[in-house]
Amino acid sequence: MRQVTTLGQFIIEKQADFPYAKGELSRLLRDIGIASKIVNREVNKAGLADILGEAGSINVQGESVKKLDVFANEQFIAALSLGGECCAIASEENEDIIIVDNKQSRNAKYVVAMDPLDGSSNIDVNVSVGTIFSIYRRTSLTGPGTLEDFLQHGTEQVAAGYVIYGSSCMMVYTTGKGVNGFTLDPSIGEFCLSHPNMQTPKTAKTYSINEGNYVHFPDGVKKYIKYCQEEDAATSRPYSSRYIGSGVADIHRNLITGGIYMYPTTAKSPKGKLRLLYECNPLAFITEQAGGKATDGFRRIMELEISELHQRTPLFLGSADMVDMAGDYMKKYSGVDAAIK
């Protein structure tokens, strides 16, 4: 029988890498894993709305049917609150931070930022969606968590990860010592190590961007897209355009096969669409730990100043050489001043 390492076993084994760890981070990751399994079960039933009832309705069991992003948000908040290892939560679904104010959590040393169900608009068409999470050590000393606990550079992240609810359910996370992927084995209800020490190729032939926004892209992005589309056998061009519209799905594919994901400034999103705190920083941490890069077109994502919980930023993320080249085009044709206003 092939040796199977479950997420729980792996977390405990790796805890030894942190000599002063007393298990809090391990339990926090366990709590996230539990909520992910519950969300996965509901996501897999999403196509049965006719049988199970539409969001907002009362189903035949007399239960109120929630929109899946609301359901996911509630599951992660409940798991993190019950686990007692984090003192505050920031969520894409909540305007303000959520103070976890029970006896055990009040003085817990971690805060968690999350997008509980990224790409949820794709659920009704059976496209993969994901959860993104980021864990910081609180900067406040004791008592209820504060907004300032979240306004830290991405380089201060203690751990980050995503869960992809697709053809299989996978959790991919890092604690700063590499990236590891776990696939849910429904027969035993455990996440099992399936992608140890993930490394993303330095270059590849896939670019991911919503070209419907082309007209309003910065000139540097337009020039880079044209570079990707030119014919040149020596550099395997033209590249392939792959854009699912669900960031976790696009970024997970590119992490494994190599590629670049870009969400630059657009007319509709003049500061970029994706959120720095609970989308870009965690995805950047994972990508860098896998040997890739993540910038806003000019600067390293994880070094950007953050002043608001839901702050947006442009995102160029993936294979290091591709992100570098896109950055060269941005510097040459879009200039730092033009892109940061």
Beta carbon of residue 274, minimum distance to ligand P6P (angstroms, whole number): 6
Among 25, 171, 260, 274, binds ligand P6P (CB under 6 A): 274
Closer to ligand P6P at the Cβ: 83 or 119? 119
Residues 47-86 that bind ligand P6P (CB under 6 A): none
Token pair recorded at residue 174: 């890092």
Token pair recorded at residue 120: 């949820």
Q: How many CA atoms lie within 13 A of 65 on its CB side?
A: 18
Could you tell me if 317 and 132 are in contact, meaning their C-beta atoms sit under 8 angstroms apart?
Answer: no
Told to check if 246 binds ligand P6P by CB under 6 A, we report yes
Told to check if 131 binds ligand P6P by CB under 6 A, we report no
Closer to ligand P6P at the Cβ: 112 or 274? 274
Told to check if 118 binds ligand P6P by CB under 6 A, we report yes
Among 210, 219, 291, 324, binds ligand P6P (CB under 6 A): 210
Token pair recorded at residue 331: 């510097």
Distances (CA, A) of 162 to 84, 170, 286, 340: 21, 8, 9, 28
Q: Side chain identity at 266, as an amino acid letter?
A: T
Told to check if 93 binds ligand P6P by CB under 6 A, we report no
Told to check if 270 binds ligand P6P by CB under 6 A, we report no
Give the closest residue to 67 by CA, choosing from 46, 88, 41, 97. Answer: 46
- The residue range among 45-53, 150-158, 240-248, 329-337 that interacts with ligand P6P, by the rule CB under 6 A, is 240-248
- Report the distance separating Cα 84 and Cα 82, nearest Å: 5
Beta carbon of residue 204, minimum distance to ligand P6P (angstroms, whole number): 18
Intra-chain end-to-end CA distance of the chain, in Å? 58
Residues that bind ligand P6P (CB under 6 A): 118-119, 210, 245-247, 250, 273-274
